[in-house]
Amino acid sequence: MDGDIGRKLNKKNQPLTEQAREINRRFANHPLTLHVLQRYGIENYLPRHACETALQRDLTAYFPIPPAKKIAEHFTEPQSRWRRLLNWARRKRRASFYQKRRSQEIANHVSRPDIQGTDLATILNEIKQQAEDARPY
């Protein structure tokens, strides 16, 4: 589960939300494990080089991606104070240069070392191990 749904990302220790705790309760009598990311979404784990390759732009100023922020809201063009105020008054969101449909293209440039040391890597390793353990010999 993405962190934006499953965790209170702005709280200390990022406790699970009621929705995530409810799913855990439902899974209690089943051989299922709910994993909740520690970042807003899986896109928040994408490395800079992969994003730069797919989006064809220098993203130095955008990294690291804040763990509790939606990537589409983070990847926006800089704006003057006047433009930000005008957009706020019009209740208009800043246009993002990241579209979710690009995630697959970006993911094609991600390797295991890129996510090493993250909770996502731990989750993937656990799933891999469980699959290997379940494989008949």
What does the pLDDT average to over 23-47? 95
Residue 80 banded pLDDT, cuts 50, 70, 90 = confident
The whole-number pLDDT of residue 68 equals 96
d(CA 79, CA 105): 27
Residue 83 phi, psi (nearest 5): -65, -40
Report the percentage of the chain scoring pLDDT > 70.
99
Residue 91 banded pLDDT, cuts 50, 70, 90 = confident
Q: How far is CA 109 from the centre of its chain?
A: 16
pTM: 0.85
Instruction: Give 53-63 pLDDT, tens digit per residue.
Output: 999 999 999 99
Q: How far is CA 53 from the centre of its chain?
A: 18
